[in-house]
Every structure is written in structure tokens, then in C-alpha cells.
Amino acid sequence: MLGRLATWLRLLGFDVLYPKYAKDTELVFISLTQERILLTRDTGIIKRRILKDYLFIHSDKWQEQLKEVIEYSNLEDRLDPEKFFTICPICNTPLIEIKKEEVLGLVPHYIFCENNKFSMCPSCKKVYWKGTHINKIKGIISYLSSKTSIPGNVPFSKNSSDAPPPVEM
Ligand SMILES: [Zn+2]
């Protein structure tokens, strides 16, 4: 499952759909019609000839998965601190900034006191503040920019003639 990967990509400001219960045909359809790169750990779906852009995710650890995506989709240059916390990590909706007084009673008192900037998801109504998350993001950014590459990882796209890599279960 790539749920945590999706959450983290959204926290970093990337538009990521994560249709949990979609069938393979739906995923391929979404990828084609919305020109999205399909991220998958499923070797079955990448054999579908119609699929154009995908990245096969090797690792089962979300930190390494994130590194795979950032490295092999060339997203390093698009890691922009201005974009962090601009998309709801739960539902992928762009967040809107709200005034501090509007979150009174919606967040724990100490959170209200310690923070001045808040945003809200207009879709799922969840309230966000940078708080301690920003340190987690800084940590993951330094991990992503470290030179340790994931061994044996090669990106594949239908644009190349390479066969998908085998998977060890
Ligand atoms: Zn939301």
C-alpha cells in the first residue's frame, strides 16, 4: 500500500490521487485521462500495454518510497518550501488560510496559543498548522537530499523499451 507515500507527497505540495478501492482499469484510465504518473508496487498493472507513465515502487518503507519518487520523477527542483502544507494530506484538496480566531474551539487550546497561522481544508474541514510537522518535513528533506540512493532501483516507463523489473515477494 502506498498510503503514507501519498500523504507525504501531498504534504510536500504535490497533487496526488489515492483511490483506495479503484480497480486496475480505473487506475489506468485516471492515469491516461488526467496525465498522471501511476505509482505502483503491482507488477500486474504495469504490464498493461495502454499504460504510458508509471513508476514502479520497489521499497516497502515510505521514506524510501518517497526518495524513489522524488529521484526518479525528477521532482527535486520542485521541492519548494512555499508549497509545503498547501494540499490536504487526507483528501488532496488545496488548503485555504483561515484567521486565527476562526479556529478557536476547533483545535486544542495550547495549539491555538502556540500558533498564529492556520489553514483549513474546504473539503474535509480539517484544520492544519505547521507546528511540529515542519521539523518532520525538514528531517525528510535532508534525508531526500542525502546521496544514499536506493540500491537496484531503475525507473521504468513505457517510453523506454525495458521490461519491468522482477519483484521479489
Ligand atoms: Zn481534506
Which range, of 24-28, 45-49, 121-125, averages the lowest pLDDT?
A: 45-49
| Ligand 1 center from residue 90 Cα (angstroms) | 5
Q: Which residues surround ligand 1, an ion (CB under 5 A)?
A: 88, 90-91, 93, 121, 123-124
Give domain limits for the chain: 1-80
Do 56 and 40 touch, CB atoms closer than 8 A? yes
Residue 109, C-alpha cell as written in the block = 487550546
Alpha helix positions (H), 97-132:
109-114
pLDDT at position 167 is 38
Q: For residues 95 and 6, give the distance between their C-alpha atoms in angstroms, rounded to a whole number.
A: 16
Strands 118-120, 127-128: pairing kind: antiparallel
Q: For residues 166 and 30, give the distance between their C-alpha atoms in angstroms, rounded to a whole number.
A: 25
For the entire predicted model, the pTM comes to: 0.81
Question: Which has the closest alpha carbon to 47: 156, 150, 153?
Answer: 156
Greater confidence (72 vs 160) lies with 72
| Ligand 1 center from residue 160 Cα (angstroms) | 36
